[in-house]
Structure 1
């Protein structure tokens, strides 16, 4: 059911005020030799807790209104059906979060539970993917038959949660060439209190941390030819870096596309990502994913009341499209301190360690696949995301052993680096990599293996001053 017209009018009115406030943060027209405007004309010049929450700086007023409406449905909680609010009912029956913002706090990054405090509270911004050997009809992972494709540790009233996640940590000690010692922590995941019986033998588990959602529409607008050019360039170089594009099923276009999003590049478009997150993380059905996320074993889940009075998907297309637009037009914030001498030294070291082979600095955007779900203002921009959007074998230390379309259990997509230095401001932590095991940039580098082993070994030989410069450069992006 579409939200009431009066509610949309109220959101639209507030959006005009919001748009004016946001415009105060947008920079314009300054020289950009250092790639400060990481999103081209979409870039916002913002720091602090709201740094990831601004619309692209070059949106027009009607687009800012649409952005604000999508923002409302991204941030506010959905509720169990039946409910007096018809615009937001249908949560669950199983779920991880009650809103998109429940995992992506302030449009930012989730974090694993604090291992020093145990697991009194179940994780929200960290989820566990599940699959068994084999492939579905599109070549993707085959869901675990009892618990589905991800573990859901919360449920609405009258339905059992699937169980509890357990995490323990193992120390991984190491030493830099200068003798400085360090200790990494490897998480080991498990389950307790399984309410629907044991999982299938051979179940594969893949932890996934909710990433910040800035710049997704810009990444979607990178031409496929540019991504495939990264594959050729790396292969022709003849070194260990040999990225691979993932090819995945895209529900909105009903075809296979190059994957761009997700830790294994297992999602091709913002539209698919948005609808799949509503369905998988909150249990909200849509026209793209119309069936409740219940397996045949979960009788209480199957019997639970449906939203929209059971007569339609729980999120209508118009609202889903507004949330997709919001997600696509979240702006990346500008670089900070690009001319700082320590940052410039770190930039040289970043290149020296050959990090740029995977973390490609810049692209020129084209047009996204669904013009109605994004803004034309995102096209034709010179952007600096620092990613090749390819899969790379990162070694056994990071492997989760779980394939995903063409991605092997050792491969991960190169994550964009823009905004990485603002995660502390936005989310109050610095947990990085696919499950948050790394506390900060340097630990993330030290987890690199496989194709990136030589780059990691180069950093191990850096002096303390060089390591600090490298971190400062990455955190300037």
Structure 2
């Protein structure tokens, strides 16, 4: 396991007690950073400035992930390649991590100590089961849709947030069902419930006689296995996001992300990006939230451990409970056999195993751009920029220079995200707070690879719950801070709208 010295942690915690909360996330404790020189800082500002020339591609624009970019393939494995700059030796770690990512866990006790510990309540038996082909999940298309990968987060109001995290919105897990609804279970234990969805269609009139139809979902939980939900339970439906480029997003300097914030909209552009700050389970101090649909985890390592615990019921040293997300109200679940063993660091997957899964997740390569010089794509890029989409979907970043992660070190990347929380309006609201994010806020999702969704995942469902059936619908669901930009898309000439979608499909 990665470690940090007791002395250094003492210094860090002492430092945190003397500064405001907004400084804590600048520490990037999970990275081994070589500080930038003054000349590098100036050069990076120049390189990452938005272009105003849309007559030709920018230099290196085709390499979305810098030297880590991978070649384009026409198969469903387009998102499953290792970083383009990975060494031969590290490629073996990648493949072993891939094996653990795909591994099917079994219930305890079993004849093997390497694969038992599943559940007892869970959403999937493997990481790959939700992130099929390392791509995007989709909501169930019927009661028998076994390939759907949606889960329902749940919580109730109340509880005291950590004092050192300013703006914490106090919530607690549902007292009976925990942090999410597990729709599967091992033998002898009832599953918690099943997600059911109904859609209401709404037609949106567009310019030039065009129109689009949006489907608004309504969710219910049926077959509740442990009695009624709390009267104030809040719900948030989530589908699995794509996995590419996570290590590069992890390596963007927190200070660069913080520089993009404008919580009071001081510049008057209507965009008020805010940082998510979460308590690190690894270091015990506040850090910048980066991963998850509301940026609820600070690193790939912690995101991986959290998913093992919540989605599969597999314990780690970060989340050591062998019973996963079972609550005190589910006493049989808590006392069921588990797979914790001393050969796995008194957990069900050891730190070595978690490190390999994290390495695999960090090094899933981003495919090169397609048709980057196509005239319609270039026009669509101009529409994207001039409509103001880059106010949230920041095109370029340069990652930290790192001593131990050459694949992610000092790369010019094009993820099209600012990694910040934004108010997306009531239409997309789940009305469920998460740490500092309120019920209308979501982290700006990266757009790289979005045009390959159908090739990899076999569908074109987008947004946090897969309600959008194509990219245009995803744009038209934007509200809140993005309401004027959405209206511009509705009103613009049809040719501009088509070019905008063509640009997104090239990412």
Q: TM-score, normalised by structure 2?
A: 0.84
Distance 1:328 1:135 in 2: 34
1:125 aligns with 2:152: no
Q: For 1:39, which of 52, 60, 65 is the aligned residue?
A: 65
1:282 aligns with 2:312: yes
Residue 90 of structure 2: aligned partner:
63
Tell me the number of residue pairs that the alignment of Structure 1 and Structure 2 aligns.
Answer: 440
Q: For 2:435, which of 400, 405, 430 is the aligned residue?
A: 405
SS of the residue corresponding to residue 182 of structure 1 reads strand
Distance 1:259 1:141 in 2: 17
Query: C-alpha offsets along residues 166-210 of structure 1, whole Å, 9 cap, x if unaligned?
Result: 111111221002232221001111111111111111100011110
1:350 aligns with 2:377: no
1:96 aligns with 2:96: no
Distance 1:234 1:351 in 2: 23
Distance 1:233 1:349 in 2: 26
1:182 aligns with 2:212: yes
1:75, distance to aligned residue in structure 2 (A): 1.1
1:249, distance to aligned residue in structure 2 (A): 1.6
Residue 300 of structure 1: aligned partner:
332
Distance 2:458 2:383 in 1: 28
SS of the residue corresponding to residue 207 of structure 2 reads coil
Query: C-alpha offsets along residues 123-165 of structure 1, whole Å, 9 cap, x if unaligned?
Result: 7411110000124554464100000000001000111101211
1:54 aligns with 2:86: no
1:43, distance to aligned residue in structure 2 (A): 0.5
Distance 2:471 2:160 in 1: 36
1:222 aligns with 2:248: no
Query: C-alpha offsets along residues 193-234 of structure 1, whole Å, 9 cap, x if unaligned?
Result: 111111111100011110001111100110111101111499
Residue 474 of structure 2: aligned partner:
444
CA-atom RMSD in angstroms? 1.8
1:471 aligns with 2:501: yes
SS of the residue corresponding to residue 208 of structure 1 reads strand
SS of the residue corresponding to residue 158 of structure 2 reads strand
Within 5 Å, give how 1:287-436 maps onto structure 2.
Answer: 287-291=317-321, 292=323, 293-308=325-340, 312-367=346-401, 375-436=405-466
1:331, distance to aligned residue in structure 2 (A): 1.2
1:237 aligns with 2:267: yes
Distance 1:243 1:201 in 2: 32
Distance 1:361 1:432 in 2: 19
CA contact (8 A) 1:132 1:202 kept: yes
Distance 1:32 1:82 in 2: 57
CA contact (8 A) 2:262 2:274 kept: no
1:446, distance to aligned residue in structure 2 (A): 0.2
Distance 2:83 2:58 in 1: 17
SS of the residue corresponding to residue 259 of structure 2 reads helix
Distance 2:293 2:340 in 1: 33
Distance 1:98 1:458 in 2: 44
With 459-468 and 221-230 compared, the bigger mean Cα shift is at 459-468
Distance 1:335 1:234 in 2: 35
Distance 1:248 1:367 in 2: 24
In 2 relative to 1, CA 97–212 (structure 1 residues): closer, same or farther, beyond 3 Å?
A: same
SS of the residue corresponding to residue 189 of structure 1 reads strand
CA contact (8 A) 1:91 1:156 kept: yes
CA contact (8 A) 1:158 1:300 kept: no
CA contact (8 A) 1:165 1:190 kept: yes
In 2 relative to 1, CA 220–196 (structure 1 residues): closer, same or farther, beyond 3 Å?
A: same
CA contact (8 A) 1:147 1:295 kept: yes
SS of the residue corresponding to residue 155 of structure 2 reads strand
